[in-house]
Amino acid sequence: MPEGQIRKALSGFYYVYYQGETYQTRGRGNFRKRELTPLVGDYVLFESGNLKEGVVQELLPRKNELVRPPVANVDIGIVVMSAIEPSFSTNLLDRFLVTLESKGIQAIIYISKIDLLTDELLQQLKEKERAYEKIGYPIIVPEQTDNKKSLEELTSYFPNKLSVFMGQSGAGKSTLLNSIAPDLELKTAEISNSLGRGKHTTRHVELLPLYGGLVADTPGFSSIDFLELEPEELSACFPDFVEVQDDCRFRGCMHKKEPGCQVKKEVELNTIPTYRYQHYLQFLEEIESRKPRYNNKHKK
């Protein structure tokens, strides 16, 4: 049975790519009973007599999945953050980074609207850029007059990877995606016009071959409410904490009130930014206070 990849899901059909061809398939009847939902990005075993009539027989194990957009087996999450209008938010950025870390997805940060910054605000942004680079995150800040170089840098990450764009509302995710793949804009407009729904068109997700890799054509605002994270898993999603936490006095230190906590020491020494630690405490509180509701929902 051939192994292909779902590149598009639309109206109950799964479009499976295999050896240069795309096969229109349906999911096997017992998927619903087994509570399995094939996602774009899934690798599948399928049977097909021709390009129009096939059946997805089995979903192969996925390494991760995102909720918005619904895509599986993601390698790279491109977090698009606005420098201004809306203002650059380290809290929101850290939420995205934690989500990506928890799913084993490489994060790349792209800053938009640089051209609107004053010199003073640009300097403040440069400080944040250095802080995130030190943690190990690639952060792409375009030149104020030209973003050609930054687009080249961004697309250099695409080969042999599945990438998804995400980020804050109003940061220009779609604009950035359209500047990388100009055909998209046309396509979005065509779909909107043909369905007569204007901007509120429900978009299906499709993986587009771009720059030697695959890119989800719908920017997502992936779930950032940490519903899948346990409190003790959170610190592993902060690489700057992971680097030093072996030196904490207690194994399994939550970096909260424990004595001899190396993370808190690094915050005092300013080697871990205070705002990162504050975000950690805030996220931890959110996870701890939501956990009972989450469990109750699943027990019903």
Residue 199 counted as an annotated binding residue: no
182: phi then psi, degrees, rounded to nearest 5 = -55, -25
| Exposure of 11 in the CB half-sphere (CA atoms within 13 A) | 1
Instruction: State yes or no: 297 annotated in a binding site.
Output: no
175 is in an annotated binding site: yes
The tokens describing 60, both together, are 């192969």
Q: Is residue 174 marked as binding?
A: yes
**Residue 143, CA distances (Å) to 150, 175, 220 in order:** 8, 17, 25
4 is in an annotated binding site: no
Three-class secondary structure of residue 115 per DSSP: helix
Residue 247 is assigned to a ligand binding site: no
Residue 168 is assigned to a ligand binding site: yes
Annotated binding residue 237:
no
The residue type of 243 is E
For residue 123, the one-letter residue type is Q
236: three-class secondary structure by DSSP: helix
29 assigned ligand-binding residue: no
118 is in an annotated binding site: no
Coil, strand or helix at 110: strand
115 annotated to bind ligand: yes
Asked whether residue 248 is marked as a ligand-binding residue, the answer is yes
Two tokens at 3?
A: 């192994």
**Phi, psi (degrees; rounded to nearest 5) at 155:** -70, -15
| Alpha helices (H) along 23-170 | 90-102, 119-135, 148-155
Closest CA to 74 of 63, 82, 88: 63
Q: Is 201 annotated as a binding residue?
A: no
264 labeled binding residue: no
Q: 171: buried, middle or exposed (CB in 10 Å: 19+, 13-18, 0-12)?
A: buried
253 is in an annotated binding site: yes
Known binding-site residue numbers for GTP = 112-115, 167-175
Known binding-site residue numbers for Zn(2+) = 248, 253, 255, 261
Known binding-site residue numbers = 112-115, 167-175, 248, 253, 255, 261
